[in-house]
């Protein structure tokens, strides 16, 4: 129920609209029930040849016309108002959710699968809006209609009203029964379908291998077997579930016959007119509808509440610590970085980095080496303040990075990660990343430096080629080159390169390294690398293992120390 309140709070921005919606719903539901009564009254004026009350008929028909127009306008306004409320609440919730994404700490992003978050922002929001808002109005109209019919029918004739009321729910029972049965059949179908999809996925997805081994015939056999199984279960499930409509229609026909029978007898007794009988008959045909709708709405509401909870949980997530109001200005960056007594771990139960100390002077090249999981990337996370240290401090230009604005700090680093990220858009847009003031020539110049130019110019529209989400058809190496180009375009005072060339062939890499070397002149840089030739040229080498810096120094001093690094280095020449 907390979720419902929450949704209503969003909707309360549109209070007047909601009030309109409810009143319009009541008016149109009641008027819709009134129309058949008027029609019935007209029929009562048509008695027999030569016996027709024209004066009354005209009067009632005019009234009917007015009622119809009012009903229709009410309906249209109600739909419009409901749409507006729903779509705007969806918009507001989505905006809030998206803004939240931008200030959530990396703990959240790194521990929640992307698909899950996307479905919260997109489909869950849609579902709860549909379910709660549309469902709510449907439920409301349904209840008004049922109550209205009840009152009208009781007013006209209570015996027939009872017949209708006792028999109609039967159709609900039938629908329920069929739904339950077909559920199991649908499950069988989806099992078979999953098998088939898996086979299609596997074989068509790897069609080239299949063809290289001329394995098509064997696949076809297997496919045919599953295909036949699927069509059998599919037949059963489709058939059984399609019985719902005939079933409920059958019940409604019985109700109709009963109303006709009892109605006719009541007419014979003179307690009811023929016109009133037609009113009953039209009520009987329409009556099952709100019942069926309401039972559908209830299940939808439960689902909608669950969706709403997921979305609001996201919006309520604790954000990262905001930048200080009176944050210091970083000013000109020379590249002095100091890490002092830093402790950090992702999982507070499990110690990772302990007592990390590092002084880096302007222009130094720091290489970080170590096996997977030794904490190399963690250091980058801390330098960029993607995560805050648990203890100790990191200072840039003598200023604690927690005293700075994050954007200020981050813009002083140029970062290339092993994992590439490209967005849907042109190559040029991906290189400039929305930064202004770069001419085409500057972009091309940067791409030449990163050796991306030669493949970009081969693309159909060169730098204006639109690439799909996550780089589309580009190879991993090409994507990495583009990410490097981004940094080449405007080089910040400090650099972070996290296995930036891992997917690029050695020859191109060697050329890029030359460009990197030039870029790194006079710039403080942190390099996570796996090739010893890169590491050897660094001013400082940090050897990490299990979250600790176990050795540091330059290549010569580390070799002379004869420790872990020396052993590692010597091992390649044994």
Partner 1 sequence: MNKLLVYLKKYKIETVMGPLFKLLEATFELIVPLVVAAIIDKGIATGNKPYIMQMALILVLLGGVGFTCSVIAQYFAAKASAYFAMEVKKDLFANIQSLSYEQIDRLGTNTLITRMTSDMNQVQQAINLSLRLLLRSPFVVFGAMVMAFSIDFNQAMIFLVTIIVLSIVVFGIMLWGIPRYKEVQSRLDSVMGLTRENLSGVRVIRAFGREQDEIADFKEKNEKLTVLQEFVGRVSALMNPLTYVILNFAIIVLLYSGSHKVFAGVLTTGAVVALYNYMSQILVELVKLANLIITITRAVACGNRIQTMLEEKNSMAEGTVDAAALPDNDNIISFENVSVRYKGDSEDSLENVTFSVAKGESIGIIGGTGSGKTTLVNLIPRFYDATNGTVKFKGTDVKDLTSSSLREVIGVVPQKAVLFKGTIRDNLKWGNKDATDEQLWEAIRISQSTDVVKSKKGELDAEIAQGGRNLSGGQKQRLTIARALVKRPQVIILDDSSSALDNMTDRNLREAIGDIDYKPVMVVVSQRASSVRNCDKIIVLDDGKVVGMGNHDLLMKSCDAYIEIYESQYGTGKNSAVTVSPSADSNNRKTKTAIELLREAAKNA
Site residues for partner 1, 243-262, by CB under 8 A, read 243, 245-247, 249-250, 253-254, 256-258, 260-261
Figure out which of the listed residues 121, 307, 366, 488 binds partner 1, where binding follows CB under 8 A: 121
Residue (52 or 321) nearer to partner 1, CB: 52
Figure out which of the listed residues 338, 477, 539, 554 binds partner 1, where binding follows CB under 8 A: 477
Please enumerate in sequence order all residues whose Cβ is within 8 A of that of 544, keeping only pairs 6 or more positions apart, or say none.
368, 369, 370, 374, 375, 376, 379, 550
* Spatial contact of 547 and 539, defined as CB atoms under 8 Å apart: no
23 binds partner 1 (CB under 8 A): no
Residue (271 or 391) nearer to partner 1, CB: 271
Distance between CA 78 and CA 250 in Å, rounded? 33
211 binds partner 1 (CB under 8 A): yes
* Spatial contact of 551 and 543, defined as CB atoms under 8 Å apart: yes
13 binds partner 1 (CB under 8 A): no
370 binds partner 1 (CB under 8 A): yes
φ/ψ of residue 204, rounded to 5: -75, -35
Residue (22 or 281) nearer to partner 1, CB: 281
Figure out which of the listed residues 205, 319, 331, 562 binds partner 1, where binding follows CB under 8 A: 205
**329: its two tokens:** 């200005």
91 binds partner 1 (CB under 8 A): yes
Residue (227 or 340) nearer to partner 1, CB: 227
State how far Cα 458 lies from the chain centre: 35
- C-beta atoms surrounding 348 within 10 Å: 9
426 binds partner 1 (CB under 8 A): no
* Spatial contact of 404 and 485, defined as CB atoms under 8 Å apart: no
478 binds partner 1 (CB under 8 A): yes
- C-beta atoms surrounding 415 within 10 Å: 19
- Count the site residues for partner 1 by CB under 8 A: 158
Residue (191 or 264) nearer to partner 1, CB: 264
417 binds partner 1 (CB under 8 A): yes
Q: What angle do CA 248, 251, 257 make, to 5 degrees?
A: 140
464 binds partner 1 (CB under 8 A): no
475 binds partner 1 (CB under 8 A): yes
Residue (382 or 504) nearer to partner 1, CB: 504
Residue (519 or 529) nearer to partner 1, CB: 529
Cβ 266 to partner 1 shortest distance, Å = 10
265 binds partner 1 (CB under 8 A): yes
Write the interaction track for partner 1 spanning residues 267-296; mark x where CB under 8 A is met and - where it is not.
xx-----x--xx--xx--x-----------
DSSP state at residue 130: I
Please state, in angstroms and as integers, the Cα–Cα distance from residue 409 to each residue in 65, 100, 362, 391, 394, following that order: 71, 21, 16, 19, 11
Euclidean distance between the first and the last CA atom of the chain, given in angstroms as a whole number? 70
568 binds partner 1 (CB under 8 A): yes
**249: its two tokens:** 């229609």
Figure out which of the listed residues 1, 16, 212, 329 binds partner 1, where binding follows CB under 8 A: 212
**35: its two tokens:** 């129309």
Write the interaction track for partner 1 spanning residues 151-180; mark x where CB under 8 A is met and - where it is not.
------------------------------
Residue whose token pair is 């929305």: 434
Distance between CA 274 and CA 7 in Å, rounded? 49
202 binds partner 1 (CB under 8 A): yes
List the beta bridge partners of residue 415.
496
């Amino acid at each position: 129920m907390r979720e419902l309140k929450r949704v209503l709070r969003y909707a309360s921005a549109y209070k007047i609209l909601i009030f309109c919606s409810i009143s319009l719903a009541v008016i149109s539901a009641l008027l819709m029930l009134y129309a058949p009564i008027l029609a019935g009254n007209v029929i009562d004026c048509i008695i027999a040849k030569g016996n027709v009350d024209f004066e009354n008929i005209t009067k009632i028909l005019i009234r009917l016309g007015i009622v119809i127009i009012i009903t229709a306008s009410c309906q249209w306004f109600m739909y419009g108002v409901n749409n507006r409320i729903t779509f705007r609440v969806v918009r507001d919730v989505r905006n809030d959710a998206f803004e939240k994404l931008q200030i959530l700490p990396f703990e959240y992003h790194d521990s929640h699968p992307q698909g899950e978050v996307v479905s919260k922002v997109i489909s869950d929001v849609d579902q709860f809006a549909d379910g709660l808002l549309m469902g709510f109005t449907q439920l409301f109209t349904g209840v008004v209609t049922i109550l209205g019919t009840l009152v009208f029918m009781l007013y006209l004739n209570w015996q027939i009203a009872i017949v209708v009321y006792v028999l109609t729910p039967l159709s609900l029972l039938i629908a329920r029964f069929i739904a339950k049965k077909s559920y199991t059949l649908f499950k069988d179908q989806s099992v078979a379908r999953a098998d088939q999809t898996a086979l299609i996925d596997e074989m068509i997805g790897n069609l080239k291998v299949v063809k290289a081994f001329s394995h098509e015939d064997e696949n076809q056999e297997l496919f045919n077997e599953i295909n036949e199984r699927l069509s059998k279960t599919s037949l059963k499930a489709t058939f059984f579930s399609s019985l719902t409509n005939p079933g409920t229609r059958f019940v409604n026909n019985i109700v109709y016959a009963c109303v006709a029978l009892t109605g006719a007898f009541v007419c014979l007794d003179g307690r009811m007119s023929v016109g009133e009988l037609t009113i009953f008959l039209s009520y009987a045909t329409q009556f099952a509808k709100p019942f069926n709708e309401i039972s559908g709405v209830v299940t939808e509401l439960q689902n909608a509440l669950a969706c709403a909870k997921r979305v609001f949980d996201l919006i309520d997530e604790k954000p990262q610590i905001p930048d200080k109001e009176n944050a210091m200005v970083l000013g000109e960056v020379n590249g002095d970085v100091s890490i002092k007594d830093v402790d950090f771990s992702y999982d507070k139960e499990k110690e990772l980095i302990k007592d990390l100390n590092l002084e880096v002077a302007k222009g130094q090249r720091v290489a970080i080496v170590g096996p997977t999981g030794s904490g190399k990337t963690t250091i980058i996370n801390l330098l960029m303040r993607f995560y805050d240290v648990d203890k100790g401090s990191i200072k840039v230009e003598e200023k604690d990075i927690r005293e700075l604005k994050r954007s200020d700090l981050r813009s002083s680093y140029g970062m290339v990660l092993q994992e590439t990220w490209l967005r849907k858009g042109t190559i040029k847009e991906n290189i400039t990343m929305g930064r202004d003031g770069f001419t085409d020539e500057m972009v091309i110049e940067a791409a030449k430096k990163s050796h991306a130019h030669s493949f970009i110019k081969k693309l159909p529209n060169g730098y204006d080629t639109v690439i799909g989400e996550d780089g589309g058809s580009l190879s991993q190496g090409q994507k990495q080159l583009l990410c490097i180009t981004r940094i080449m375009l405007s080089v910040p005072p400090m650099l972070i390169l996290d296995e930036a060339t891992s997917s690029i062939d050695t020859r191109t890499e060697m050329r890029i390294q030359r460009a990197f070397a030039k870029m790194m002149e006079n710039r403080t840089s942190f390099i996570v690398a796996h090739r010893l030739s890169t590491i050897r040229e660094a001013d400082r080498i940090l050897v990490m293992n299990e979250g600790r810096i176990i050795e540091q120094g330059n290549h010569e001093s580390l070799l002379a120390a004869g420790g872990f690094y020396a052993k590692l280095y010597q091992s390649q020449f044994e």
